[in-house]
Structure 1
Amino acid sequence: MTIRKSLWATVTIAGMFIAPSAMAATQCNFTTECFEAEACSETSFDLSIADGEMTTDAETIPVSIGGSDAVRVYVGVTDSAFHVLTHVASGFARYSTHIYDGPLMVGYLGACEVE
């Protein structure tokens, strides 16, 4: 079983996912970037989520949405990476991209706002 299929199986089994159409649009801004084991640094990185898709300057990723009113979890799998975004009701957010080629991991800290 490939990594991609295995990850989707894990996500599907969790059974906590919500229909994308039931979710309001979300805008996120990240101010801290952490690349692998290097020290974190300041950044300005934005993404948005609407209609079951996470959109960045680089790509649009279909996502599954789960969680509760207290915390939302967005998971997307592409041919090149696994994407995870979590944000809590207070707005704090964490986004990570796990790139298969390498492998490499980039993490971001910031905030999201439901529109």
Structure 2
Amino acid sequence: MRLILPIALVAFSPAFAQVTPPADDHTDGHTDGAASENLTLETAPFRQEIAIACDFKTECVEDEPCTETEFTPQITGIAGGLTPDDLVVQSTMVTDAETVELLGVKSGMALSLSGGTFAARHLLSITETGAARYTVHYADGPFVISYLGTCN
């Protein structure tokens, strides 16, 4: 989450440029304001391809008892940021039932992604050790489906 502030600062750099005098010396390796305004995941100083396979063995639907399952979504995408510690992630999760665009953050090996539509909001959390929780919150009902498993 520490990356959100630097990205917000980059997004508002034109406003800061009005009150911050330009640096004359570019020998320290930093780019000027114009270059930082065009920062994207593809042009971020630190980039990483995302390719994750998950294996969920437990499914819990609303308040019913949990059952065994074999749910194996695949997540692919790109991560990028100003430092290698915290990265913004843009990804796609593919399942047998659907394909969902997910956005989030990666800190070390931990990952938190969310996305979907208003009708079905998706949240995937993966710990440093690979333990994972995936939930889908449906507006119609409303009801929730949760999955417990691992991702690597």
- Same fold by TM (over 0.5)? yes
Task: Provide the residue aligned with 2:97 in structure 1.
Answer: 58
TM-score of the pair, normalised by structure 1? 0.77
Structure 1: segments with no counterpart, 5+ residues: 1-13
Q: How is 1:1-115 mapped onto 2 (pairs within 5 angstroms)?
A: 15=4, 19=41, 22-51=48-77, 52-113=91-152
Higher relative CO (Cα under 8 Å, sequence separation at least 6) belongs to 1
- Structure that is richer in strand per residue: 1
Q: What is the distance in 2 between the residues matched to 1:60 and 1:29?
A: 17
Structure 2: segments with no counterpart, 5+ residues: 8-40, 78-90
Q: Which has the larger radius of gyration?
A: 2
Q: What is the distance in 2 between the residues matched to 1:100 and 1:22?
A: 34
Q: CA RMSD in A?
A: 2.4
Is the partner of 1:25 in helix, strand or coil?
strand
Is the partner of 1:38 in helix, strand or coil?
coil
Q: What is the distance in 1 between the residues matched to 2:125 and 2:117?
A: 18
